[in-house]
Structure formats: C-alpha cells, structure tokens
Structure 1
C-alpha cells in the first residue's frame, strides 16, 4: 500500500513538473514573439521572409507528424503531452509573425497594426470566428489566411486528436491500474 502511494506521489510530481515546463516554454515562446526584432521581415526582405515561413511550417508539421505517429503506434517513449502543445503554439506564432510582416505592405491586412493584433487575428482565424475588425484585403494575405486554415485542419486538428487520444489512454491505464492493485 505504501509503494502505491509513493508511486502516486511521484507521478503527481512528474505531472506537475511537465505542466510547469510547458508553461515556462510557452512563456518563452510568447515573450520571444513580442521581443525579437522581426521588423526586417516582410516587404524589405521577401525571399528571406517566405523561406523562413515555409521552412518553419514544414519543420513544425514534420515534428507534429512524428508525435502523431508515436501516439498511433503507442511508442513507449512518446511525450506528446509535452511536445504537441508547444509545436501547436509555435505554429500559431509563425502565422502571427507572417501576418505582422504582411501588414507592413499597404492594403494587405486592414486593421492589423501591432504584434498583438497579429496574434489576435491568428487566434480568431484558428477559431474560425472572424470578427471582421481585421480583414485580409491583399491577395497574399488572403492566401496566407487560407493556408493557415488548411494547416489548422490538417496538422493542428490531427495533433489535438492524437494528444486527446494519448491522454484518454493514459487516464484509462491509470484507472485500470488503480482498480487492480491489491
């Protein structure tokens, strides 16, 4: 009985440390988004901007697919609860950075003036709410917005589904293990 309590305490501590690590990593990502000097991206350096955008999304998609396959194949060392939320957050920040860069071109994104506006527009697009206060008027902004919607449908939805599957499996395993203890 004492061993099961010790194991439960260790598991609870491990879970707490994972949540704290996630919160710290998310804080670092958001802080970096607001503080990094990204103003040179956009119309001043279009080739660099598009290259970074495509490479970042491709890398995030590859890492998400790796985590999804780990969950589907029940890989013993999979840590989707740590990695998937961070990759999802990073993809949101990549799109927000892209919208901020696009807004530097007159007429592309009406109503988007700050990084907070860009993050807000990204989240509103992700949630498919669309308040209408920021609107993509330029063809490039509309293309990126459609790409974000497709990216969300394909990669972020699959990642969220894999994460919820892994959490559900872990919950039922713990529940079953708890009921079968002497």
Structure 2
C-alpha cells in the first residue's frame, strides 16, 4: 500500500501513452490496408471533397485543442489528442498523394503507399530529397496546401502541446517541492 505508485488508470501517463500508440498504430495500419482505390482521377469530385472535409475537420479539432490549452481548460487532454490529430493529418496528405499518383504525370517517383507517406514526411520536414516530385498542377497544389497547413495548424498545435507539457512539468515540480518541504 505504501509503495507510492499510482494505480494504472486512464489518467496515468503510461495509459495515455498506450492509447496514443494504439491510436497511431491503428491509423497507420488502416492507411495501408483500407481499399482507397475509389479515390483518385476516376472520381475527382469525391477525392477533393474527402480531402478538403478531412483536413477541415482535423483543423477544427486542432483549433479546439489549442483553445483548450490557451484557456487552461481543466478537462482537456491535448497531450493525448493533438499527436493523434497530427498523425491523421499526415495520413490524409499521404492518401491524397497516393490518389494523385494514379494520374499519369502528377507525381513522379511515387508508386506505393509507403512512397506517399515518405513524401509527406519529407515535405513536412522540409527536407526535399528530390526523388519524388509533384509534376502536375493538382500535385503541386496539394504540396502547397500541405506546407500551408503545416505552418498554420500543425505548428500551432505543436506549440500549444509544448506549452501544455511545460505547464504540467512546472506544476508537478512545484507540487514535489511543496511535498518535500511539508507545506
């Protein structure tokens, strides 16, 4: 009883880490396994609608989490939600690149879902090796949208997340000092 260990509950860091890992793993597995052949040049209206709505929904949810951090909302879980939403945004862009690659001349060097995910992450990290390039106008538009989306939403979300983590660590440090001093 006196071991000082917290019980394993949904509020413990290990529980949150397991949920995040399981959620991200599930999303990546779904990305690789879901039949997404209905997206692409044969259904451009459906593809663009799905792409825009998915990104708008993710942006709205990210903004909600950012507001929760800024207003110090007591029941918010940005440390759990923001990384999962960021992962989902990356997978939406990878799906868009994969769909574009099925149209000849849009994406040069991209032929698999792993290529699409790789290109998305290389673009996100602003590395740009040049082995996969957006040649078509639609592919270049998606690349521009990814860069803007990253600057606006993913950067703001990452900043809010780091602010939240800093606040939590400072709060825990203050609590520990009070506990040690007996006040």
State the match for 2:130 in structure 1: 132
For 1:157 and 1:11, the matched residues in 2 are separated by 32
Q: Residue 74 of structure 1: which of 50, 72, 75 is its match?
A: 72
SS of the aligned residue for 2:12 comes to helix
RMSD: 1.5
State the match for 1:91 in structure 2: 89
Gaps in structure 2 of 5+ consecutive residues: none
For 2:103 and 2:133, the matched residues in 1 are separated by 14
State the match for 1:22 in structure 2: 20
State the match for 2:108 in structure 1: 110
How many angstroms does 1:14 deviate by?
1.1
Q: How many matched pairs?
A: 178
For 1:65 and 1:30, the matched residues in 2 are separated by 23
How many angstroms does 1:11 deviate by?
7.8
TM (norm. structure 2) is: 0.94
* Runs (4+) off by over 4 Å: none
SS of the aligned residue for 1:44 comes to coil
State the match for 1:168 in structure 2: 166
How many angstroms does 1:39 deviate by?
1.2
State the match for 1:146 in structure 2: 144
In proportion to residue count, which structure has more helix? 1
For 1:130 and 1:174, the matched residues in 2 are separated by 40
TM (norm. structure 1) is: 0.95
For 2:48 and 2:137, the matched residues in 1 are separated by 15
For 1:40 and 1:58, the matched residues in 2 are separated by 21
Gaps in structure 1 of 5+ consecutive residues: none
Q: Residue 63 of structure 1: which of 49, 61, 69 is its match?
A: 61
